Amino acid sequence: MAYIFAAFIATFITFILRSLRWMILLDSPKDLELHKYISTTHIGYFLNNILPFRAGDIARAKLLSVNSNTIKFSFVIGSLVAEKIIDLWIVGLFSIFLIFFGFNNVLGIEFSIGILLLYIITSFIIFGNNYVANKIQKQFSITKNFVEGYLLVSKNKIKLGSISFLLWCSFVAYMYALLKSLNIDLSFQQYVGITVISSIVTSLPIAPAAIGTYHLAVIYFLTLYGIEIDQSQTAAILLHSIFLLYTIILGYIYLSFEKVNFKSLIDDNKN
């Protein structure tokens, strides 16, 4: 039970860090406090469990913009794209760590190459001069707010990078706690490897709550690490269920406090 409790704490920490990063990414609008980011982030993940194509992300962007007098919906959407770019960059950083120390077999050569390509692309976006994005913004004025939100990724690099690193460390801690609760002992590199792959699969806009795809990824990599299929299946179910349980309970609680009127979210004309 101690490991299960630790996993819940790790999950709570990931939501706090994700919310704090989002606030810094948006340059801390004065009319929005941290608790508002925490609330909308929980609600977004709650809705991702019941809606396809990660529609909960759109809902949390809309909810945040509705609660602010200074930021527009398309600008917040751009910030969510920036979030994904940062996460992909950190994934690439972790992968380079694995490959540099000779643990490329932890990810497999195909995954390693793909992740490294993403790392190069996201590095250009974060550290480049964003010439293409600025050009699009000038040519198509309708994209102005979105592109400005997207370009937030190139600001506050040290703060965003530090929080993102801690965020992904908490993901690894979650993986470690739950696998240890099943007496599955992996090397540190393997914990990092399975965290990277399972997180990428979870972020794909396929099925609500990544049901099926997440389980397949966990089972595949645990069997690759020499864990028996029955134990791998149990681990996949537990890993997914604990996170699902957390997001449903906390998301519903925050949803009740917000007293969200979904019709107002749809009809709101802020763009």
- Give the separation between CA 82 and CA 72, rounded to whole angstroms: 16
For the segment 205-217, the average pLDDT, to the nearest whole number, is: 73
Residue of 255, 241, 251 lying closest to 211 (CA atoms): 241
Provide the 10 A C-beta neighbour count for residue 193. 28
Q: What is the pLDDT of residues 240-263, one digit of tens each?
A: 999 999 999 999 899 888 766 555
Q: What is the pLDDT of residue 83?
A: 85
CA dist 14 → 5, 40, 174, 206, 211 (Å): 14, 14, 9, 22, 20
Mean pLDDT over 92-98 rounds to 78
CA distance 153 to 17: 16
Across the range 93-112, mean pLDDT stands at: 68
Sequence-distant (6+) residues with CB within 8 A of 131 are none
Burial class for 16, CB neighbours closer than 10 Å (0-12, 13-18, 19+): middle
Residue 127 tokens read as: 């550290």
pLDDT for 101 equals 66
- What integer is the mean pLDDT of 218-239? 90
Q: How far apart are CA 74 and CA 80, in angstroms?
A: 10
- Compute the distance between CA of residue 33 and CA of residue 136 in angstroms, rounded to an integer: 32
Question: Global pTM?
Answer: 0.82
Instruction: Report in angstroms the alpha-carbon separations of 39 from 26, 59, 90, 262.
Output: 16, 12, 25, 15
Region 196-216: what's the mean pLDDT? 74
- What is the average pLDDT score of the chain? 79
Residues 138-151: what's their mean pLDDT? 51
Burial-class residue 47 by CB neighbours within 10 Å (0-12, 13-18, 19+): buried
* pLDDT for the residue 128: 61
Provide the CA 171 distance to its chain's centre, in angstroms. Answer: 10
Residue 152 has pLDDT above 70, yes or no: no
HEC string for 171-222: HHHHHHHHHHHCCCCCCHHHHHHHHHHHHHHHHCCCCHHHCCHHHHHHHHHH
Q: What is the DSSP track for 66-94?
A: HT-SS--HHHHHHHHHHHHHHHHHHHHHH
Q: Which of 126-130, 185-189, 217-221 has the lowest mean pLDDT?
A: 126-130
Mean pLDDT over residues 23-28, rounded? 83
pLDDT of residue 177: 95
What integer is the mean pLDDT of 97-116? 67
How many Å apart are CA 150 and CA 144, to the nearest integer? 10
pLDDT at 167 over 90: yes
Confidence (pLDDT) at 71: 81
More confident residue, 200 or 22: 22
**pLDDT given at position 42:** 93
Q: What was the pLDDT predicted at 140?
A: 47
The share of the chain scoring above pLDDT 70, in percent, equals 77
Question: Where does the pLDDT of residue 205 fall: very low under 50, low under 70, confident under 90, or very high at 90 and above?
Answer: low
pLDDT at 58 over 70: yes
Listed as own residue / partner, the contacts of 169-175 with beta carbons closer than 8 Å and 24 or more positions apart are 170/10, 170/13, 170/14, 170/17, 171/10, 171/14, 171/195, 171/199, 173/6, 173/10, 174/7, 174/10, 174/11, 174/14, 174/243, 175/239
